[in-house]
Structure 1
Amino acid sequence: MSDVVVARSLDEAREALASQPDATVLAGGTDLMVEINRGLRRPRHVVGVAQVPDLRRWSVADNRVVVGAGVTYTEMMTTALADAAPALAQAARTVGSPPIRNAGTLGGNLGTASPAGDTLPVLAALNAEIVVVGPDGERRMGLNDFVVGVKRTSLRPGELIVAAELDRPRGRQEFLKIGPRNAMVISMAGLALVADHDARTVRCALGAVAAGIPRAREAEAWVAERIDWENGASVDDAVADEFGSRVAAAASPIDDHRSTAAYRRHAVAVLATRALKRAFAPGGNRDA
């Protein structure tokens, strides 16, 4: 039987984890309870953080968005967060059913660290800085330093995910994914694309097609030089198609029970082409 501590403040959560550094952190439980019910996990110590107000907070500034680890998918979709980080809202809409979206959290998606986690490509494309606290104080790191493998993070014993801090660039954001049906499905391939009109750059991150969450940096640099930033920031079909092919080259997919590697690579190319066209469609700019 597990020893369960229900923290009601960030200090209580930190104290509980300091006394039991190997404890499992429980937020919405949408991933953890599946593993427990299947007999894959039997945590001896659990620290519940769903009632910690500090983790449920979020804020929006001109160029930065801070999302607490306890913010749910529903909140990402239905609050002003949806305007400040539209790709995050798009990703949240694809997660499970309404009960899952009401319970599941950003911190839970980060902590699970699955390559198919829907919010993770968005965080990568928005240059997220992950904030954690633990016995040695606060640490901040980029997503690639936080997610170090399939369902593996760089969290140290006793550390807790507190928030993700995201860029808020001026430009359209897109999240797209593909699965065997339109809803309540684990991604076979996913992609987030962010246009930054001030920096004149495009950022593109991939999900479910590698061990981590890669950025298609060569494709990003290539396409940024071919966008007509001066005259409405437009792209033609040939550029969009080539961009898709270059993004697909950044993927390293595998064959598994959900898809073949070849299909995943093809899907990434299609998603990238589609996302770029949407991001630079007429009227796609966000006001500064």
Structure 2
Amino acid sequence: MDFLRPDTLAEALALKAEHPDAVPIAGGTDVMVELNFDHRRPAALLDLTRVAELRQWSERAGVVRLGSGVPYARVIDELGGALPGLAAASRTVGSPQIRNRGTVGGNLGAASPAGDAHPVLLTVDAVVEAVSARGTRLIPATEFYLGVKRNALEPDELIAAVLIPRARGPQQFCKVGTRNAMVIAVCSFAIALHPAAARVAAAIGSAAPTPRRASAAEEFLSGELTAADQWRSPRPLPEPVRRRFGELVAEAASPIDDVRGTAAYRGHALAVLARRALGWAWQDYQDHRDRWGGSV
């Protein structure tokens, strides 16, 4: 196995063009596990840890450009206010050691249905910035996941960054796992309220071949909130609305039975997670209506 170690992004792209089968590695929290258990034996590893351009983030015109090499720990410490949903998901990733090494870019590259960052990225209209020696390509998160551990990158492309709008409304993430640390989600759920657009976004993880939006649940809740003038004058949500939202979230899933849980359990858990996360997000909106604004 060849070990390629560029110092700059330009060098990394040149090496990726020359070795399209090379597997990128940054934190190594996914790749090294596969290597250690002999589940994967690539021809080459492309080590990106020296590429400083990938370990930076910036904000411009209300959009955070999060470098693919920024670890979860920095997302939590530095971007909790701008990206609360992603920060919440980052807090649930593994242990402190994993959060210091693992990256959102690596999560995207692995494209596991259970990746913690994925549901959040779907709810906040994130865009993946893919780069190659040929140029830059922007891929909406909704078009990035193609199947189990399959993404939309071309063989010569790397993930340079993720473009994420600064939060303009409450965001929440929660998941069910077999323990608190070093755990793969049995299922996960993210919600983002977009008051200026009178819109709700919701997504599920670890309950289908890919992370996916819960479109019917989004449309239902957005319609209920608009019809009741809740965006202008937020009040406690009726229990039947919360319950129906949870049911529709569960219906968006295509779960399977595996060693971590049954399909039936995943469906039940998603409905519970959706109701709870909605309750937290809506309480935030009620309590801080002036901060978040609302539709006009």
Q: Which residue does the alignment assign to 2:205?
A: 207
SS in 1 for 2:136: strand
Please, which runs of 5 or more residues in structure 2 have no aligned partner?
A: none
Q: Which residue does the alignment assign to 2:35?
A: 36
Give the alignment of 1:86-235 within 5 angstroms.
86-227=84-225, 228-232=230-234, 234-235=236-237
**Amino acid paired to 2:96:** P
Identify if the C-alpha distance between structure 1 residues 284 and 250 changes in structure 2 by more than 3 Å, giving closer, same or farther: farther
Deviation of 1:60 after TM superposition, in Å, equals: 2.9
SS in 2 for 1:193: strand
The answer to whether 1:47 aligns with 2:46 is yes
Q: Which residue does the alignment assign to 1:271?
A: 273
In 2, Cα distance between equivalents of 1:246 and 1:27: 37
**Amino acid paired to 2:116:** D
Q: What RMSD in Å do the two structures reach over aligned CA positions?
A: 1.4
Task: Tell whether the 8 Å contact from 1:169 to 1:198 is kept in structure 2 after alignment.
Answer: no
The answer to whether 1:6 aligns with 2:5 is yes
Percent identity between the two aligned chains:
45
Identify the range of structure 1 (55-64 vs 257-266) with the bigger mean alpha-carbon deviation: 55-64
Task: Tell whether the 8 Å contact from 1:177 to 1:188 is kept in structure 2 after alignment.
Answer: yes
Task: Tell whether the 8 Å contact from 2:207 to 2:255 is kept in structure 1 after alignment.
Answer: yes
SS in 2 for 1:221: helix
| Alignment match of 1:240 (pick from 218, 239, 242) | 242
Deviation of 1:216 after TM superposition, in Å, equals: 0.8
Deviation of 1:24 after TM superposition, in Å, equals: 1.1
In 2, Cα distance between equivalents of 1:168 and 1:223: 22
Task: Tell whether the 8 Å contact from 2:126 to 2:163 is kept in structure 1 after alignment.
Answer: yes
SS in 1 for 2:270: helix
Q: Which residue does the alignment assign to 1:85?
A: 83
Please, which runs of 5 or more residues in structure 1 have no aligned partner?
A: none
In 2, Cα distance between equivalents of 1:31 and 1:249: 30
Identify if the C-alpha distance between structure 1 residues 10 and 190 changes in structure 2 by more than 3 Å, giving closer, same or farther: same
Deviation of 1:26 after TM superposition, in Å, equals: 0.9
In 2, Cα distance between equivalents of 1:72 and 1:16: 23
Identify the range of structure 1 (172-181 vs 55-64) with the bigger mean alpha-carbon deviation: 55-64
Task: Tell whether the 8 Å contact from 2:21 to 2:42 is kept in structure 1 after alignment.
Answer: no
Deviation of 1:58 after TM superposition, in Å, equals: 1.1
Task: Tell whether the 8 Å contact from 1:171 to 1:284 is kept in structure 2 after alignment.
Answer: no
In 2, Cα distance between equivalents of 1:85 and 1:110: 17
SS in 2 for 1:109: helix
Structure-2-length-normalised TM-score: 0.93
**Amino acid paired to 1:14:** L
In 1, Cα distance between equivalents of 2:152 and 2:282: 36
In 2, Cα distance between equivalents of 1:196 and 1:61: 20
Task: Tell whether the 8 Å contact from 2:191 to 2:200 is kept in structure 1 after alignment.
Answer: yes
* Cα-to-partner distance string for 1:24-63 (whole Å, 9 max, x where unaligned): 1111111100110111112221211112111111123453
| Alignment match of 1:260 (pick from 259, 262, 271) | 262
**Amino acid paired to 2:261:** S
Task: Tell whether the 8 Å contact from 1:251 to 1:265 is kept in structure 2 after alignment.
Answer: yes
SS in 2 for 1:198: helix
Q: Which residue does the alignment assign to 2:287?
A: 283
* Cα-to-partner distance string for 1:52-81 (whole Å, 9 max, x where unaligned): 1111111234532221110101011111x1
Identify the range of structure 1 (197-206 vs 226-235) with the bigger mean alpha-carbon deviation: 226-235
- Larger helix share, 1 or 2: 2
Task: Tell whether the 8 Å contact from 1:144 to 1:212 is kept in structure 2 after alignment.
Answer: no
Deviation of 1:233 after TM superposition, in Å, equals: 5.8
Structure-1-length-normalised TM-score: 0.95
Deviation of 1:192 after TM superposition, in Å, equals: 0.6
In 1, Cα distance between equivalents of 2:60 and 2:136: 22
